[in-house]
Chains A and B, each alone.
Chain A
């Protein structure tokens, strides 16, 4: 009996190992596919050929308009609310434990370094990332992508590269905008509750904020933009022949985008601040 149960445990153990191994290989090939997509898109950006440049620029402009400019109201609202919450909590709770001097630090660490880039990424995933996957998925099913290839138009140059560039530029700007609105707007909104004057507040924040913080925040915006655009284009172009695949791929794109943004955030924070 003992031998049988040991054998069963061994088989179960091997099954888990096989499962973990398969998942690791899947994850590796997924990341490799994304890397290849980013590489060919950036290579296309650097290619000197003037062919399709005007059209690609038009698509980049539209992507920036949709992802960046059109997102300003929702980004402003969320940044204001986050700023209000964090600044109110920090400004009212920290002085009670004699740590009022740390208000600036808390704001820089929580809002500028971490929540600003992450929340901006989540907003962009929800607004633009899902839109990209849905649009490209529908284009695949409607054979629009095949039609583009058949008229000699490079899908990478006309579809992927402009979305990647538009998303990266928008994400960097939106992240910096989010941080600014969250800190300044949040302070204005919370001023009624705070006893700290604006000059002291601004001094505390600028004292705690370094150039590294700004660079790391912008770098996060760039990395998150690259990841979200690559993931959403990859899933959109993975749709084969049925419209039911479109929402399935959109869901996968959204979950994977959020997960990879969090992993990248850990990686960047670990590299820059540990």
Chain B
């Protein structure tokens, strides 16, 4: 199986923030890997590295077969059309409705006609249970709805890789369920790889293929959630169940 993400020998030091020490991690195509661990353990930094927002001090990061350090600004922008990212703040444009936020990548990158665009965007909103909120502005919806809208926008171009920062934050039970079913729904068309950070246990973790537990910038254990639980110390157990 090909790797969607290959991080090898990455080290990074950020003043006053989390760092990473000689980190090596591979996420296969179509896999869902959850990054668990305490705050400042390096989970968010891994997401930012994969999104090309920060560069490592040493080591290499390959995303969808491309070495991020070797990409020009335009090539990185091209790669980003294949990678959906939702960080801690959903980043919806505050002067656009939910519909226009989700439609923005289609309008910008594909220059789609409004008629075709409307059905596509409404179908995407339905997938996340947001169809009734299509004409609301970000300030008029709650945190969970904004996060779901941001994920809907991050996947509207049919992205192959999804990088999520604490995806269940602010989500209610049906929203978490929908998010858990995301890969199943996409499986019919093409494989979707997901890398998501989780700073506390969430039911979404149970749908992950593997969980990587991080502490102090290093990966302490990787495996299926149940396997990790069986071998976990008391501290690690708190993050896994």
Contact = CB atoms under 8 A, between A and B. Distances in A.
Interface of A: 50-55, 135, 138-139, 142-144, 146-154, 158
Interface in B50-106: 51, 53, 77-81, 84-85, 87-95, 104-105
Contacts of B91: 142-144, 146-148, 150
A55 B104 contact: yes
Contact of B87 (A54, A143, A153): A143
Contacts of A144: 91-94
Contacts of B85: 150-151
Given A51-B109, A55-B107, A153-B108, A147 B92 contact: yes
Question: 10 nearest interchain CB pairs?
Answer: A147-B91, A152-B80, A143-B89, A150-B85, A143-B91, A152-B77, A152-B81, A52-B108, A151-B105, A55-B108
B51 A150 contact: yes
Q: Is the interface of A mostly helix, strand, loop or mixed?
A: helix
Interface of B: 51, 53, 77-81, 84-85, 87-95, 104-105, 107-109, 111, 150, 153-154, 157
A244 B49 CA distance: 29
Nearest to A149: B80
Contacts of B104: 55, 151, 153
Contacts of B93: 139, 144, 147-148
Given A142-B91, A147-B90, 13 more contacts: A51-B108, A142-B94, A143-B88, A143-B89, A147-B92, A147-B93, A151-B81, A151-B84, A151-B105, A151-B108, A151-B153, A151-B157, A152-B78
B111 A53 contact: yes
Contacts of B87: 143, 146-147, 150
Given A142-B94, A144-B94, A147-B92, A54 B81 contact: no
Nearest to B77: A152
A153 B94 CA distance: 16
Nearest to B153: A151
A273 B94 CA distance: 47
Contacts of B109: 51-52, 152
B111 A54 contact: yes
Contacts of B111: 50-51, 53-54
A149 B88 CA distance: 15
B28 to A, nearest CB: 23
25 contacts: A50-B111, A52-B109, A55-B104, A55-B107, A139-B93, A142-B91, A142-B94, A143-B87, A144-B94, A146-B87, A147-B87, A147-B91, A147-B93, A150-B80, A150-B85, A151-B85, A151-B104, A151-B108, A151-B153, A151-B154, A151-B157, A152-B78, A152-B79, A152-B80, A152-B109
